[in-house]
Amino acid sequence: MPLHMIKLCVGVDSVEDLEAHVRARLSAGSGVEQTHVTRVMPKRAAEMVGAGSLFWVIKGQVQVRQPILRFDAIRTEDGVERCRIVLKPDFVRTWPVPKRPFQGWRYLLPAEAPADLGEGADLSELPSALRRELAELGLL
């Protein structure tokens, strides 16, 4: 079973916002790959590449995941070594699960990862605020 990561998606109000942000960055010529830069390279990166996903926490709930393609060690303009996470720009919605704020990223074991919404359970038509409220009430 692959290992996953979980991270807060700060400044984004919904999965649709995240998708639009990624589309805009990719179409603006910022590269052909979707990337996210973080401070620390995961020690267990090999367990995630090609099989694991980055689960995004949006507005206090895990709502979507993206497959991890690879990790690149980079040096930023200020000379600091960082980790560039290269993600497949595919957004797989998950069952909403509440998650308290935390700093940075965390490993997410497969047994703890929320399940994908799957075929017959398309909740994307519901407004994100309603999905969030239903999940908080334990109805999703």
Residue found by looking up tokens 């919605």 in the block = 93
- pLDDT surpasses 70 at 58: yes
- pLDDT surpasses 80 at 24: yes
Which pLDDT does position 101 carry in this prediction?
Answer: 93
Over residues 66-125, the pLDDT tens digits come to 999 999 999 989 999 999 999 999 999 998 899 999 999 999 999 999 999 875 556 666
Q: What percentage of the chain reaches a pLDDT higher than 90?
A: 68
- Sign for the CA dihedral angle at 85, 89, 94, 100 comes to positive
φ, ψ at 26 (rounded to 5°):
-70, -40
Which pLDDT does position 115 carry in this prediction?
Answer: 92
* Radius of gyration, alpha carbons of the chain: 15
Indicate the SS3 state at residue 90.
Answer: coil
Q: What percentage of the chain reaches a pLDDT higher than 70?
A: 87
Between the alpha carbon of residue 11 and those of residues 24, 59, 106, the distances in Å are 15, 9, 19
Task: Find the helix or strand (DSSP H, E) in which 59 lies.
Answer: none
CA–CA dist 131, 100 (Å, integer): 17
